Structure formats: C-alpha cells, structure tokens
Amino acid sequence: MDGFAQLPGGRRRRLAQGISCRGVGLHSGLTLTLSLLPAPSGAGISFRRTDLGLTIPARADHVVDTRLCTAIGLPGEPQARVGTIEHVMAALAAAGIDDALVEVDGPEVPILDGSAEPFIFLINCAGAAEQYGQRQSLQVLKTVRVEDETGAWAELSPLDDFAFDAELEIAFPGTAIGTQSLGLRVSTASFRAELANARTFTLAEDVARLRAAGLARGGSLANAVVVDGPLVVNPGGLRRPDEFVRHKLLDVVGDLALAGHPIAGRFRGARSGHALNNRLVRALLADPAATRLVTGHALEAVEAPALLAATAA
C-alpha cells in the first residue's frame, strides 16, 4: 500500500487512522506499546507519555539527551522524557506526515528491528489524509556549520533545487565498518529504497560498558548490528555493505525533523551524530537570516531515488 505517498501536495497531512505496536526498548529493556495517532492541523509531531499523562513537542529545543539516542523532555521534569525517537521521526518525515501524536507507555520508543522500516510499514498501513492548512518547509538561505572538539562537523547550506540533499562520511578504523560515505537526495521514495531498512549498530567492546551503566538492556542481534573488530557478529550479516553510513543518514533525517518543518537545503557532515545534528538544528533556528518558510514539502519534491555518491572501504 502506498496511500500516503500518492496524495497530491499542498494541504497538510495527518494519519488517516491510529495504529499500534509493541516492542522492547533498546536501553530500558521494557516491553512498550507505541501508538501513532492522527493530530489536528498545525499540531506538528508530539509524543505523549500515556503512563505519565504528559505531552512533549518533537522539537530541537526539547532535546534533553543525545549521548546514545535522541531524547526529548520537559523542562524541570526529569521523568518526563521519551528516548530513541529518531527512527520514528525519520519515518514520519519521509512519509510526509505533518501532524501526528506518538503515544508510548514508557521512557522510550520501541526499537523494533533497529531500523525505520517497521515504522514506515505502520504509517503505510494507517494511511494518510489531507486536512486544512498549508504545508511548509524551511528553506536554508545561508550556510550554518557546527563542529566538536574531535573535528567532527555538520552543516546545512542553500540548495538551488527545492529538495533535501544529504552527504555523510563516517570512520571507524580497525573495524568492519571502516570509512564509508553516502550522498543522497532524500525523498519519500529514496528514503524507503536506500535508508529505511538500515539498522542501528554498536561495537562489541561497548556492549558490556553500556549494560554496566544500565543501558542497552533490550539490545540484541535482533535489533542491532554488532561489530567485533573486523567481524560482523550477526548471523545474517549486513543488509547492505554500507549499512552503517545508511543508518547514520537515517538518523540525520530523524534528528533534522526536529526543526519542526522539512528542510530544503543541503546537509553535509563528517562523523556527525545525534549531538552535532541537534546543535546544527538549534544553530539554524537561532539565526533569523538563515532560513525562510516556503510552501510545500521538500522531501516530497522528488519522486525518484537519486544516489549522489557512495563509497565504502
């Protein structure tokens, strides 16, 4: 079913109906129920902790943690947070859903298989409906760049086309990951074809440390790729030779969706993760001269997948 991809552009889109699933939380190990629900026009995306009765806007200024995932929360209420939101945010953005309420009965979104593909499936099953209100994107007008102390960096710059291009390089020397890069014109079609099924990954040497810190309690070979030096531990291997950089680009799509609107521009980065992605969005929004609102949805401007460049070594 491709119902949500076939609607004509212009009006805002919500889910046509609610849909739910259950799965384990990557870090908490809890079995959690997630529901994707329609929301009124202009509501944007928000997360509701049904166990706490609290709603958190999915915005960059509500991000409270970026160490191992992207987590949002409410000021002054440390218990009011939802973690690991990046995969479902990427799926909603790529599917062209402007308004949705994401309900979860615990502290994080279920990890499912570690990719965005199950969320695309859920959105696809729920379908989409148009509603009153104009779709808008943030057009990047000037280059905004952030860096960290390791030399990793990320930037957004203007693009001649009304679209979103993303290029990323990652480097994990001495492992099966190595150095990988990928450039992609991100659209509804290309996200599904090139990024959606790329799974999260970790190094075997980090697993024990994470669990000792009370994290990764729900992690397994069913929901993450585990790399042990030159080896991929998962019996089924990789879904693609460059699955690692594809997943990192998937994360970029989800993290940048916290700008509140699709971004029309070019993203480039080297070794960028959740922290730099969030800093980049905050820097973009902090500069009134860096963007303007324009009509339309940038990720739906291109119908065909378009790989710009790809390398893996």
Report the catalytic residues: 274
SS3 content of the chain, % helix, strand, coil (to 5): 25, 35, 40
Q: Supply angle C-alpha 34, 100, 302, rounded to 5.
A: 115
Please give the C-alpha separations between residue 44 and each of 32, 35, 239, in angstroms, as whole numbers: 23, 16, 32
User: Are the C-beta atoms of 151 and 164 separated by less than 8 Å?
Assistant: no
Please give the C-alpha separations between residue 242 and each of 126, 239, 248, 282, in angstroms, as whole numbers: 31, 9, 10, 29
Q: Supply angle C-alpha 126, 298, 141, rounded to 5.
A: 150
Please enumerate in sequence order all residues whose Cβ is within 8 A of that of 115, keeping only pairs 6 or more positions apart, or say none.
87, 196, 197, 198, 199, 200, 247, 250
Using only C-alpha atoms, what is the Rg of the chain?
18
The single residue listed with the structure tokens 């799926």 is 91
Structure tokens at 38: 């329609």
Tell me phi and psi for residue 244, to 5 degrees.
Answer: -65, -50
Residue 246, helix vs strand vs coil: helix
Please enumerate in sequence order all residues whose Cβ is within 8 A of that of 154, keeping only pairs 6 or more positions apart, or say none.
145, 146, 267, 268, 269, 270, 272, 276, 277, 279, 280
Distance from C-alpha of 95 to C-alpha of 226, rounded to nearest angstrom: 29
Type of residue numbered 4: F
